[in-house]
Amino acid sequence: MTIREFKMPDVGEGLTEAEILKWYVQPGDTVTDGQVVCEVETAKAAVELPIPFDGVVHALLFEEGTTVDVGQVIISVQTGADAPAEAAPVQEAVPAAAEEQPAARQPVLVGYGVSTASTKRRPRKAAAGTAAQNGTAAPAAAPAATPAPAVPAQPNGTAPAGGERPLAKPPVRKLAKDLGIDLAAVVATGQGGIVTREDVHAAATAALAPQAAAPAPVAAPAPAAVQAPAAPAGQVPAAADAAARETRIPVKGVRKVTAQAMVGSAFTAPHVTEFITFDITRTMKLVQELKADPDLAGLRINPLLLIAKAVLVAIRRNPDVNASWDEAAQEIVLKHYVNLGIAAATPRGLIVPNIKDAHAKTLPELSEALSSLVATAREGKTSPADMQNGTLTLTNVGVFGVDTGTPILNPGESAILAIGAIKLQPWVHKGKVKARQVTTLALSFDHRLIDGELGSRFLADIAAVLEHPRRLVSWA
């Protein structure tokens, strides 16, 4: 009998971890080469993982909802025998740190180093294992039958006196460093004595409240005959648990990387935002005419489609807006293609997939691409490749009834256009005040790439096309 192990692959270009969302197989199930066995979520997208060999599932090493480091074994498969073996526990599938060789550190997406062997140096049993000290494996002093109490921090941030280095993932170590928390003083609640993000936040909270720093003993249950008096109607009982008044939501996956990207963009690219309000009545009439066109039957025709087309026409008239900034070379990189991003709200957070080579697509092709992009995003199936190499983004805040906003650039892109709500408003048309369809566009752009004149011309051209949509043809 041969047991083969399948490790968490790097499905997101340098990302260090992924969360297991769903298992599609169970121990004892037969699997074949290429069969999808689970769905995971990285910091970029949800991805289905196929198994690369045939066999019978021996063990699932992590439960759904668990965040697993890249390179860690997630499933074992029995090959070379007909009958499945009994599922092995998690700790027997991961080698001890003493069996691993230290590896050089390398840069990753979020800017700190991670050892390729870091996920394997964690002891999986309380009574056995080894500890890693400064990247070198060393035997533990002695097995512990029960978890040890928290050890006070040592001078200069050194490891506890027992010689063990606190076990934590690189993102958790970075979080502790940012918050000024010594991992040696943190009580670990994770599996195998691993320090989690929640442990670090708990330590930071305790540091801010010295009177509550020492853990209070667990109170014994009150006798059944003794009950607290009821609080007056409309008031929260004085003894109510504070946790009942707040809900904490872990930030991970797409939400985490979006937050990091937006902070980086806001404080790296010098943003400028300009606005234009105009009469879009003729475009709205054209939308209705195109919907009735039998040649476009089955296609989704909406204002966003024509706005996207107007943006592409305006880029053709102002090609210098389609660029990126190369910080290392201190150069502006002009793009001769347009990968048009569409901001999409999904249950897992905001993502920005893009339509590749949108500039070369006809209106029907653009409609099909837009519909496919939105449907895939809503299903949570957007791949990392679909979100890479965007050049300019559209975000439709008008669907929420919002008039306008000041959008933040998607990192690496030159501009983002916010589309406001389209509403009937009094408007001067042919010398008379009439009810017309009016909207506001807001264009944020990177002032290193686009100066005020170029940004203004570009935004004005978009509005001009939408005011008189015949320019979709005459300016194309």
Specify the long-range contacts of residues 103-110, CB closer than 8 Å, at least 24 apart. 105/135, 107/14, 108/14, 108/15, 108/16, 109/12, 109/13, 109/14, 109/15, 109/43, 110/171, 110/174, 110/260
Instruction: Identify the weakest region by mean pLDDT among 89-98, 332-341, 355-364, 409-418.
Output: 89-98
What is the residue range of 284's domain?
Answer: 253-474
- Of 58, 336, 447, 468, catalytic: 447
pLDDT band at 176 (very low <50, low <70, confident <90, very high): confident
- Residue 218 falls inside a structural domain: no
16-59 tens-digit pLDDT: 788 888 999 999 999 998 899 998 887 667 788 999 989 999 99
Cα separation, 431 vs 351, in Å, equals 44
Cα separation, 250 vs 259, in Å, equals 12
With a cut of 90, say whether residue 247 has pLDDT above it: no
- Residue 236 falls inside a structural domain: no
DSSP string, 54-107: -EEEEEE-S-TT-EEETT-EEEEEEES-SSPPPPPPHHHHS--GGGSPP--EEE
Instruction: Identify the weakest region by mean pLDDT among 155-159, 243-247, 377-381, 396-400.
Output: 155-159
pLDDT (0 to 100) of residue 204: 73
Domain check: are 381 and 466 in the same one? yes
Phi/psi at 31 (5° precision): -125, 155
Instruction: Identify the weakest region by mean pLDDT among 5-9, 47-51, 206-210.
Output: 206-210
Helices (H), 215-347: 253-266, 281-291, 303-317
With a cut of 50, say whether residue 75 has pLDDT above it: yes
pLDDT (0 to 100) of residue 260: 77
Structure tokens at 391: 């050049």
pLDDT (0 to 100) of residue 108: 35
With a cut of 90, say whether residue 216 has pLDDT above it: no
Domain check: are 185 and 264 in the same one? no
Ramachandran sector of residue 80 (left: φ over 0; alpha: ψ -120 to 50; beta: rest): left
Mean pLDDT in residue range 207-232: 47
- Residue 158 falls inside a structural domain: yes
Angle at 19 between CA 18 and CA 21, to 5 degrees: 135
Q: Give the CATH number of the domain where residue 396 resides.
A: 3.30.559.10
Alpha carbon distances (Å) from 280 to 140, 290, 291, 307, 422: 72, 16, 17, 10, 8
pLDDT (0 to 100) of residue 263: 83
263-291 tens-digit pLDDT: 888 878 889 999 999 999 999 999 999 99
pLDDT (0 to 100) of residue 202: 79
pLDDT (0 to 100) of residue 104: 42
Mean pLDDT in residue range 96-105: 39
Q: Specify whether 429 is catalytic.
A: no
Nearest residue to 448 (alpha-carbon basis) of 321, 319, 263: 321
- Residue 239 falls inside a structural domain: no
pLDDT (0 to 100) of residue 431: 94
Alpha carbon distances (Å) from 62 to 2, 25, 53, 108: 21, 13, 20, 24
Domain check: are 300 and 416 in the same one? yes
pLDDT band at 207 (very low <50, low <70, confident <90, very high): low
- pLDDT > 90 in the chain, percent: 45
Amino acid sitting at position 99: E
The H or E element spanning position 367 is helix 363-378
pLDDT (0 to 100) of residue 152: 39
Cα separation, 328 vs 331, in Å, equals 8
Domain check: are 355 and 454 in the same one? yes
Cα separation, 154 vs 259, in Å, equals 34
Q: Give the CATH number of the domain where residue 134 resides.
A: 4.10.320.10
Domain stop point among 187, 212, 237: 212
375: three-class secondary structure by DSSP:
helix
Domain check: are 257 and 338 in the same one? yes
Domain check: are 126 and 161 in the same one? yes
With a cut of 80, say whether residue 162 has pLDDT above it: no
Domain check: are 116 and 150 in the same one? yes
Mean pLDDT in residue range 7-20: 77
- Residue 230 falls inside a structural domain: no
- Residue 401 falls inside a structural domain: yes
Highest mean pLDDT among 130-134, 264-268, 346-350, 423-427: 423-427
With a cut of 80, say whether residue 121 has pLDDT above it: no
Angle at 303 between CA 301 and CA 304, to 5 degrees: 90
Enter the pTM of the model.
0.56
Domain check: are 90 and 112 in the same one? no
Instruction: Identify the weakest region by mean pLDDT among 24-33, 79-88, 167-176, 380-389.
Output: 79-88
pLDDT (0 to 100) of residue 307: 97
Domain check: are 75 and 199 in the same one? no
Mean pLDDT in residue range 398-422: 94
Residue entry with tokens 């606190």: 166
Q: How far is CA 421 from the centre of its chain?
A: 27
Question: Rounded mean pLDDT of the chain?
Answer: 77
Domain count, the chain: 3
Alpha carbon distances (Å) from 31 to 16, 26, 68: 27, 10, 22
Domain check: are 70 and 89 in the same one? yes
pLDDT (0 to 100) of residue 434: 95
pLDDT band at 304 (very low <50, low <70, confident <90, very high): very high
Domain stop point among 212, 242, 277: 212
Nearest residue to 62 (alpha-carbon basis) of 171, 195, 192: 192
335-376 tens-digit pLDDT: 999 999 999 888 777 889 999 999 999 999 999 999 999 888
With a cut of 90, say whether residue 315 has pLDDT above it: yes
With a cut of 70, say whether residue 430 has pLDDT above it: yes
Q: Give the CATH number of the domain where residue 81 resides.
A: 2.40.50.100
Domain check: are 206 and 309 in the same one? no
pLDDT (0 to 100) of residue 233: 54
Highest mean pLDDT among 52-66, 174-188, 348-362, 461-475: 461-475
Domain check: are 62 and 143 in the same one? no
421-441: b or e for each residue (b if 16 or more CB lie within 10 Å)? bbeeeebeeeeeeeebbbbbb
Residue entry with tokens 């009958």: 83
More confident of the two residues 250 and 243: 250
- Residue 234 falls inside a structural domain: no
Domain stop point among 94, 126, 155: 94
